[in-house]
Amino acid sequence: MNQDVVGRGREFCLARVRDMLRIRRMEERCAQLYGEGKIRGFLHLYIGEEAVATGVMANLLTEDAVVATYREHGHALLRGISMNAIMAEMFGKREGCSRGRGGSMHLFDAATRFYGGNAIVGGGLPIAVGLALADKLQGKRRVTCCFFGEGAVAEGVFHESMNLAVLWQLPVLFCCEDNLYAMGTALERSESQTDITTKAASFKLPSMRADGMDVLAVYDATKLGAEYVRESGKPYFIEFQTYRFRAHSMFDPELYRDKAEVDEWKKRGPIHNFTNDLKQAGLMTEEDFLDLDHDVMKEVEESVAFAEAGQWELVADLTRDVYTEPA
């Protein structure tokens, strides 16, 4: 048993289980809906990595900003975008958070300061730097949290963003979700230096590594990083070592990794292991878990019904926000 759970309190721990379950059950349902042809295009599932979004988001304030990747469903959900709006967006319905125009990879919500959902690898990095620069120029003490994968480290924009964030001393919390594979390319096949924190340190950027399969480790690392950014107004870098249990996308045949490797990582599953620790510590019963799961599944099915009942955008509105309206 992880003794660390004992001092956290039952309410805190059950909230983290609920957050991870909401992501897992929503993603599992999305996979089913994709097979039914109700969700189309590209779909990148977050199954296995739930502890990262859960631990990070629990440390952010409403005034902070979040920039994410194309595997962003869980981040959007925990940021406060309703599951209804997310599911409707997946369906391409106008009730979606991006009015059905973005789909899976382009979730957006100005009200919660969730700025994507970016389909371009590394595309969120300069956006995060720009948001943080705006906050600094306006004298606002806020954190811009930027998620990206280890594959983005191979992009030039990664180095440009790290350099400017340090050079200009901007309040960005860089969160690298290192799941070992950039699509189908293993980290050691694309990077001569596989220690991501070393790359961050080369820019004189304070950094640390955390176990991305342990929600409490993620929470603690983020708490330290977010407090540093908020108090100093300077950037901080965290590498979360995690693993996705599903394929890169629904079109991925997964020829680059063995099933045995996936099975071994599943033994470290964030939901399974955390709930086991809670049960052993007397903070959760099996009935508690089943009650949480039941409530989450109810939310998921309600979101599917909402998306099914949604409306397609009118043909007459397709050019809205594309062309300037005539004077």
**DSSP letters spanning 138-188:** TT----EEEEEEGGGGGSHHHHHHHHHHHHTT--EEEEEEE-SEETTEEHH
- 187-207 in b/e form (b: 16+ CB < 10 A) is beeebeebebbebbeebebbb
Tell me if 292 sits within 8 A of 17, measured CB to CB: yes
Distance between CA atoms of residues 42 and 307, nearest Å: 18
Residue 192 banded pLDDT, cuts 50, 70, 90: confident
Q: Is residue 320 part of a domain?
A: no
Q: Is residue 117 part of a domain?
A: yes
Strand partners of residue 114: 66, 109
> Any idea what the Cα angle at residue 67 is, between residues 27 and 40, rounded to 5°?
35
For the stretch 70-124, pLDDT in tens is 999 999 999 999 999 999 999 999 999 999 999 999 999 999 999 989 999 999 9
On whether the pTM is more than 0.75, the answer is yes
Q: Is residue 82 part of a domain?
A: yes
SS3 at position 215: helix
Region of 326 please: left (phi>0), alpha (psi -120 to 50) or beta. beta
Q: Is residue 31 part of a domain?
A: yes
Q: Is residue 317 part of a domain?
A: no
- pLDDT value of residue 325: 78
- pLDDT value of residue 6: 81
Total domains present in the chain: 1
- pLDDT value of residue 206: 97
Domain limits for position 139: 8-309
- pLDDT(326) > 80: no
For the stretch 135-151, pLDDT in tens is 999 999 999 999 999 99
For the stretch 6-50, pLDDT in tens is 889 999 999 999 999 999 999 999 999 999 999 999 999 999 999
Q: Is residue 66 part of a domain?
A: yes
Residue 310 banded pLDDT, cuts 50, 70, 90: very high
What CATH code is carried by the domain that includes residue 19? 3.40.50.970
The total of other beta-carbon atoms located within 10 Å of residue 135's CB is: 21
Residues 6 or more apart whose CB falls under 8 angstroms from that of 197 comprise: 207, 208, 209, 237, 239
Residue type, 213: M
Write the DSSP string, 301-323: HHHHHHHHH--PPPGGGTTTTTS
Which has more pLDDT, 326 or 166? 166
Nearest to 54 by CA among 167, 283, 210: 210
- pLDDT value of residue 252: 84
Distance between CA atoms of residues 110 and 169, nearest Å: 25
Kindly compute the dihedral angle of the four CA atoms of residues 131, 148, 125, 172, in this order, to the nearest 10 degrees: 50
Q: Is residue 327 part of a domain?
A: no
- pLDDT value of residue 253: 83
- pLDDT value of residue 47: 96
- pLDDT(1) > 60: no
Q: What is the mean pLDDT of residues 199-227?
A: 97
Q: Is residue 321 part of a domain?
A: no
